Amino acid sequence: MSSQKDFTPRLGLITTVSIVVGGVIGSGIFKKPASMASQLGSPEWLLCIWILAGMLTLFGALTNAEIAGMIPKTGGQYEFFRTMYGEFTAYLYGWAMFSVVQTASIASITYIFADSVQSLIALPRFSPDIEALSLHLPFIGSIFPLKDIGIKVLTILAILFLTFVNYRGVTLGGTVQVLFTTLKVLALLFIVAMAFALGNGDFAHFSRDMISVDGVGGVPTNWSLISSLVMALSGAFWAYDGWNNITYIAGEVKEPSKTIPRGLFLGMIIIISVYLLINLAYLYILPIDSMAQSSLVAVDVVKAIFASIDPGLASLATAFISIAIMISTFGASNGTILVSSRVYYAMAKQGLFFRSIGNVHPRFKTPGRALIIQGIWSSVLVFSGTFDTLTDMLIFVSWIFYAMGAFGVFVLRKKLPDHPRPYRVWGYPIVPAIFVIFAIGFVAYTLYNDIAMYLAGTTPIINSVFGLALVALGIPFYLYFRKQQHFSSEEQ
């Protein structure tokens, strides 16, 4: 059993909210609006998708909050699944977090940090011939591990540095998180204020759709619209992902049964508000056509704002946004590294992962070895693909478990009807039911769409199948760990 006495409860509500906000707001709000604008072609649809994704994520957070209040243990979702569905399902969840979801999240977020550094300082890279060398994975596709080698090496160095910071103590990691969360929210609100106060924008942009030229562009219709909405939702969900990270460190939160539900609710309200405001600012400055053609919409927006003040300042836009993205992603990566290692720690304490991972550092009171193995595997995943490959893969897998986690509210209401519930999900059973039904539909359509795009030759890799394959690799390890459990019980 996992002993909660291994950790000291040191984190209050402010740090809890900052972990929720800081773990969510990363690269997505800077990177995804451009591709979403291209997919949708409509400012109304774009805003609707951000609101819809935010509300669905809030429904998931509210549902999760009931379970978090019932089971305030370090390991969070892993412990929830263990109570709801048993050991095997909990193990698969924990393995998925290690093999795909959390480690790929760390890799992809930190990758954007390094990419932002490159916009200021040229990083080394191999020749096109070397970058073109690929590794083919059967039934999955091809990856290009040597592409953008400078960015990847810097990404790994940043991951290892933040791993060291969190190895040294949860208080230090929490302090870093509060600082960078505050800075990133202020940076986003600064862009919003500058856009509406000084930017030469136009409110007509909020209702002006993309114009189709020779059948290219414009607002998709019929089946194409459904496909575009799902792809845009996937991008928005990436920007909202990480909302449940706080549950992983419940054993280190003061009064977790009360603090975690409050932190989840307050954090999600802040995130949805900031995302909606920044997208309104983007659209006020740039029409949907310009957003769709932008490689990084935040840079173009700030360029336009600065140019309207003084044309000579426009050149500072790239530097400003690059620094803002560096702050945002650095903080998001720190928050993910801080919390995720607690899942593998909880698994190891129960004999379902390498036992040494279940050790707590005697001085720093952190799961040091869990942090180290997480940092190593995250670094390996950096070489597996591009930012979009990593994010699409982890979003698909995470939403499988989001659906199961929300359905667990119904399971626990029946399985443990008399268990104390400091917080009961608002709108039960409608709110969790909406979330579960949507999550199942999203996962099913994403799998279908990924396979269709691969067969059509529009993508070199089936991201969802890649994620499933990494999760399936955990089954032999489960059998091994179960065997080790059996030997240990016989020896005792």
Per-residue 3-state assignment (H helix, E strand, C coil) for 378-433: HHHHHCCCCHHHHHHHHHHHHHHHHHHHHHHHHHHHHHCCCCCCCCCCCCCCHHHH
pLDDT of residue 192: 93
User: What pLDDT is recorded for position 484?
Assistant: 81
Q: Say if residue 213's pLDDT is above 70.
A: no
State the pLDDT confidence band at 77, using cuts at 50, 70 and 90: confident
Task: Specify the pTM.
Answer: 0.81
Least confident of 94-103, 136-145, 366-375: 136-145
User: Where does the pLDDT of residue 436 fall: very low under 50, low under 70, confident under 90, or very high at 90 and above?
Assistant: very high
The region of weakest confidence among 136-150, 195-209, 352-366, 468-482 is: 136-150
Coil/strand/helix, residue 141: strand
Predicted confidence at residue 10, as pLDDT, reads 75
In this predicted structure, the answer to whether residue 156 has a pLDDT above a threshold of 90 is yes
Closest CA to 442 of 228, 221, 140, 234: 234
In tens, the pLDDT along 267-294 reads 999 999 999 999 999 999 999 988 988 8
**Residue 130 buriedness (CB in 10 A; 0-12 / 13-18 / 19+):** exposed
Q: What's the maximum distance between 2 C-alpha atoms anywhere in the chain?
A: 77
Average pLDDT of every residue of the chain? 84
pLDDT band at 92 (very low <50, low <70, confident <90, very high): very high
Q: What is the pLDDT of residue 279?
A: 94
What per-residue confidence (pLDDT) applies to 137? 67
Instruction: Extract long-range pairs of 290-294: CB within 8 Å, 24+ residues apart.
Output: 291/33, 291/34, 291/37, 291/38, 292/34, 292/37, 292/38, 292/41, 292/210, 292/217, 293/38, 294/34, 294/37
Q: In this model, does residue 366 exceed pLDDT 70? A: yes
pLDDT band with cut points at 50, 70 and 90 for residue 61: confident
> Per-residue pLDDT for 214 more than 50?
no
How many folded domains does the chain comprise? 1
Asked whether the predicted pLDDT for residue 223 surpasses 60, the reply is yes
Q: What is the pLDDT of residue 249?
A: 77
What pLDDT is recorded for position 1?
41
Q: Judge whether residue 416 has pLDDT over 90.
A: yes
Are residues 462 and 450 in contact, defined by beta-carbon separation less than 8 angstroms? yes
What is residue 295's predicted lDDT score, i.e. its pLDDT?
74
Residue 3 in this model has a pLDDT that exceeds 50: no
What CATH number is given to the structural domain containing 322? 1.20.1740.10
Residue 145 pLDDT exceeds 80: no
* Structural domain containing residue 198: 4-491
SS3 249: strand
Residue 152, CA distances (Å) to 90, 118, 126, 161, 351 in order: 32, 11, 12, 14, 34
Of the candidates 59, 66, 89, 451, the residue with the CA atom closest to the CA atom of residue 258: 66
> What is the distance of C-alpha 305 from the center of its chain?
29
- The DSSP-derived string for 200-227 is ---GGGGT-PPPPBTTBSS---HHHHHH
Phi and psi, residue 164, nearest 5°: -65, -40
User: What does the chain come to in residues?
Assistant: 492
Rounded to an integer, the average pLDDT of 424-432 is 90
Q: Give residue-wise pLDDT tens across range 320-346.
A: 888 888 888 888 888 889 888 888 888
Tokens coding 310: 């003084």
Contacts of 445 (CB under 8 A, 6+ apart): 230
